[in-house]
Amino acid sequence: MTTTLIDTAAHSAGYTDKLLLPHWAEIVKIIPEAEGVSTFHFKFTDLEVQARYRFEPGQFNMLYVPGCGEAAISMSSDLETSGGLLVHTIRHVGNVTRAISRLKVGDVVGIRGPFGTSWPLDAIRGMDVVIACGGIGLPPLRGAIYRIIRDRARYGKITLLYGARTPRDLMFPVEYEAWKKADIDMQVTVDRGDDSWTGRVGVVPMWFYHFRVDPHKTAVLTCGPEIMMRFVIYEALARRIPSDQIYVSLERNMKCGQGACGHCQQGPYFICKDGPVFPFRALENIFNVEEY
């Protein structure tokens, strides 16, 4: 046989694409937020990576601690506000996030991303926006809040419904005054108050009982425990807000971020690439299916 059988060009292409290869990023600042929650500011050690890194609020990164593994964490700011740093607010509850809690300024983690869909900040221009979130569901929306504030005149009435278990579990309380000044109606509620708490006690979806919305020009952005989102969606639909104006951010186990490893499937979707942010219309047939 004289001819060579092998297409060497196709075969020797090499590892030009970096499957699951993270970039190292150094911790430049750590801000404790609440018990078991801290905000980390990262800067890529490779300046070229740092210079070209972009993302949209609502997207997430895979954060890697060598020897420990990866966790999917949303960005909790935007690059304009953070001066180009990557900001992640992390609740230390799993293997990887607990390992991150033990890191100090100057330590590095691996970062892959950004992955997934973002909040539809262009599509909802001109509308009233209800941002409904609970607990650690506020950080993935903070970047969107910053964007809306910077572009405030382009949006209608903005309401932030935010609930936490106790006053001490509220994220970013020092920013609430600034958000109020930017004409955001702050509706903060807790499950259990303490001696100093004078605000509302109750759950987030109850807000809908007290206020009127104009369904045709209202968009809802929600992120938080699924049970909270379920009732936010229920109340929003009951007020005739169309299901394609309700945006939901879902959480599932994720390993790759690229719709390849299979873990984050829910129905036909890979939450990591088709989500995490979905218009509820896309989820109508699957969101309430138990254990799906």
Partner 1 sequence: MTDKTLSVGSTVTLPKPELDLLLADLRKNGYQTVGPHLQNESIVYTKIDGLKDLPRGILSDQKPASYRMIQTGRDRYFDFIPANQSWKQFLFPPRHPLFTAVKEGKWRLIENEEPTPRYALIGVRACELAAINIQDRIFLREDFSDPIYRLRRAGLFILAVNCLDPDATCFCVSMGTGPRHVAGFDLCLTEMDEVFLVEVGSELGRSLLADRTFDLPSAFVQTAASQAVERAARSMGRFMDTSDLPDLLTNNLDAQRWDVVSKRCLSCTNCTLVCPTCFCWDATDQVDILGKSTRRERVWDSCFNPNYSFVVGGNTRPNIRSRYRQWLTHKLGTWKPQFGVLGCVGCGRCITWCPVGIDITEEVAAIRVEVKS
Q: C-beta of 25: minimal distance to partner 1 in Å? A: 11
Of 129, 132, 179, nearest in space to 158 by CA: 129
Among the candidate windows 4-12, 48-56, 163-171, 176-184, which touches partner 1 by CB under 8 A?
4-12
Among 79, 188, 258, 282, binds partner 1 (CB under 8 A): 258
Please give the C-alpha separations between residue 55 and each of 64, 132, 151, 222, in angstroms, as whole numbers: 18, 22, 18, 19
Closer CB to partner 1, 18 or 212, in the complex: 18
Q: Is the distance from CB of 186 to CB of 179 less than 8 angstroms?
A: yes
Among 157, 200, 230, 273, binds partner 1 (CB under 8 A): 273
Q: C-beta of 222: minimal distance to partner 1 in Å? A: 17
Q: C-beta of 240: minimal distance to partner 1 in Å? A: 27
Distance CA 52, CA 23 (A): 13
Among 42, 115, 179, 270, binds partner 1 (CB under 8 A): 270
> Considering the rule CB under 8 A, would residue 225 count as an interface residue with partner 1?
yes
Q: State the DSSP string of 204-260.
A: GGGHHHH----GGGEEEEEES-HHHHHHHHHHHHHTT--GGGEEEE-----SSSSS-
Closer CB to partner 1, 5 or 174, in the complex: 5
Peptide bond into 225 cis (omega under 30): no
Among 53, 251, 278, 283, binds partner 1 (CB under 8 A): 251
Distance CA 277, CA 258 (A): 15
Q: C-beta of 252: minimal distance to partner 1 in Å? A: 6
Distance CA 51, CA 57 (A): 18
> Considering the rule CB under 8 A, would residue 47 count as an interface residue with partner 1?
no
Binding site for partner 1 (CB under 8 A): 1-7, 10-11, 13, 15-22, 24, 45, 66-70, 91, 93-94, 108, 110, 225, 251-253, 255-256, 258-263, 265, 267-268, 270, 273, 289-292
